[in-house]
Structure 1
Amino acid sequence: MDFAGKDKASYVKETFNTIAGRYDFMNSVMTLGLDKRWRRKVVRCVGAAENKHILDVCCGTGQLSLALAERVGPRGRVTGLDFSENMLAKAREALQHRPWPERVHFQRGDALALPFPDNSFDGATVGWGLRNLPDLEQGIREMTRVVKPGAKIVSLDMAKPTLPVFKQVYWFYFERVVPLLGSLFTGKRSAYRYLHDSAVQFPAQRELAQIFARCGLIDTRCHNLAGGAVAIVEGTKAAGAVIRHSGFTR
């Protein structure tokens, strides 16, 4: 990927700040409206329920955070974290249209150095965010550190389908059609070209499940969606697991 002379973190931040205004619309267009259904499945996988406190890393415009908030009830909480100011602004705007804004707190922060104590959350999610991290394993370890033993970490992201023909159609759509749609609807073709390039370099779903295990999670597994074009990958923090803060600045 060409980051135009910038490091990945700076490039990604600038990219998402630029497309924040049309991000949700483009998600619906690219996924043919299936993104809402996929988020509901993530909510079930992470075990969001009454009184739980769930962390949503790389929360973006907050759509997954809001879906989680519907399940945790009036005494539950959701914390959404992202490093894009413009994406967070859209998330806070969306929250004001919900009847329970007190359930969700959005804050700016670094996914590689989460500003939370160990064992703070009853689960953690990340939607289309892991592939944007400069250090994938560090991001997973940080999520593991801040959830309680027995809690789940669940990722929703693009995957790598293996079915003949469908695989070729998928990559053609993602490489050629998605950047064209991005150019038409946002004027930012390069941003949606980045989405393709980052998906190419992102580990396939089974490999990501193995990385979850390497980062200290157990019972790791993946669930294919849309014929394997998208996947949910999950793992559980083992009882007694010790994952210490790595020393990154909070």
Structure 2
Amino acid sequence: MTSLTEEHKRKEAFIRNLFAQIAHRYDLLNTLLSFNRDKAWRRFAVKQCRLRPGGVGLDVCTGTAMLALEQAKIVGPAGKVVGLDFCPEMLAVAKKNLERSPHGHIVELVEGDAMSLPFPDNTFDCATIGFALRNVPDFRQVLREMIRVVKPGGRVVSLELAKPRWPIFKQIYYLYFDRLVPLLGKLGVGVEGPYSYLPASLKTFPHQEELKRIFEELGLVEVSFYELTGGVVAVHAGTKPMGWGE
């Protein structure tokens, strides 16, 4: 359990309201703004989970449940996936996505807090979080909770926006990200603001090298990260050690 500071409470309320505004267009804009790469990114992230048929997975800040559905494809009907989110509007879209998918019955949606996951220790074979770690009030606390609920030997995986390294590509990317993404987002959802927050949130989030070190500081082993599409996004993955807590 953790208590939120006033600053954290303000951020939580802001993020909940932001995603409530964009929920109805979230999946479409993800696909458009990523040039349809978001699906491949999610598949790659789930591959790092090392899930098997019959496994049990968790997707934190599941949003519209697209990452949870990628897990469901692997664990199959003998397995189970839980998708947790704190935004009812996003979960409403997630429910529709599950109803349309042949794998939807494998996923259970839970409204809850990523900072204090409502699950016992050592419950899941993996825990993922996609495009949300930079949005939570305290990302270290969220990672601690993900580690807590994963079984020893299980995997913690983050798919998140990253900071490209290549000089020319980096300049073009930030021009697109800072100028065009907010404009396209405004046209897509009909309100100004939500997609202006996107580039701002990345600037204050740790570089992928630093996030790897944080994974290790929190106790994960076999930590690695992968930069995808020229470093536009990064997937971080680590293993909860056997004998954790003994």
TM-score range, shorter chain: over 0.9
Residue 169 of structure 1, CA deviation: 1.0
Cα-to-partner distance string for 1:157-211 (whole Å, 9 max, x where unaligned): 1001111111111111111100000111112331001111111111111111111
Q: Which runs of 4+ in 1 moved over 6 A?
A: none
What is the SS of the residue equivalent to 2:100? coil
Matches for 1:212-231 after TM superposition, within 5 Å = 212-231=215-234
Residue 231 of structure 1 aligns to which amino acid in structure 2?
A: A
Match of 1:235 in 2: 238
- Gapped runs of 5+ residues in structure 2? 1-8
Identify which of 16, 20, 30 aligns with 2:23.
20
How many angstroms apart in 2 are the aligned matches of 1:100 and 1:58?
A: 19
Match of 1:109 in 2: 112
Matches for 1:123-142 after TM superposition, within 5 Å = 123-142=126-145
How many angstroms apart in 2 are the aligned matches of 1:226 and 1:188?
A: 29
What is the aligned-residue RMSD (CA, Å)? 1.2
Identify which of 35, 39, 46 aligns with 1:36.
39
How many angstroms apart in 2 are the aligned matches of 1:202 and 1:236?
A: 22
Alignment pair present for 1:206 and 2:213: no
Distance 1:163 1:100, change over 3 A: closer
Identify which of 174, 177, 181 aligns with 1:174.
177
CA contact (8 A) 1:178 1:193 kept: yes
Residue 229 of structure 1, CA deviation: 1.2
Residue 102 of structure 1, CA deviation: 2.7
What is the SS of the residue equivalent to 2:164? coil
CA contact (8 A) 1:52 1:76 kept: yes
Residue 48 of structure 1, CA deviation: 2.1
Cα-to-partner distance string for 1:52-90 (whole Å, 9 max, x where unaligned): 000000100011111111111111000000001000000
Identify which of 92, 95, 117 aligns with 2:95.
92
Residue 224 of structure 2 aligns to which amino acid in structure 1?
A: R
CA contact (8 A) 1:53 1:78 kept: yes
What is the SS of the residue equivalent to 1:189? coil
How many angstroms apart in 1 are the aligned matches of 2:40 and 2:192?
A: 27
TM-score scaled to structure 2, two decimals?
0.94
How many angstroms apart in 2 are the aligned matches of 1:189 and 1:200?
A: 20
How many angstroms apart in 1 are the aligned matches of 2:192 and 2:238?
A: 35
How many angstroms apart in 1 are the aligned matches of 2:245 and 2:214?
A: 17
Match of 1:159 in 2: 162
Cα-to-partner distance string for 1:25-65 (whole Å, 9 max, x where unaligned): 00001100000011111111101220000000010001111
What is the SS of the residue equivalent to 1:55? strand
Cα-to-partner distance string for 1:109-151 (whole Å, 9 max, x where unaligned): 1000000000000001100010011111100000000000011
| Identical aligned residues as a percent | 47
- Gapped runs of 5+ residues in structure 1? 1-5, 244-250
How many angstroms apart in 2 are the aligned matches of 1:139 and 1:187?
A: 31
Identify which of 97, 108, 118 aligns with 2:121.
118
How many angstroms apart in 2 are the aligned matches of 1:100 and 1:130?
A: 25
Match of 2:191 in 1: 188
What is the SS of the residue equivalent to 2:127? strand
Residue 162 of structure 2 aligns to which amino acid in structure 1?
A: A
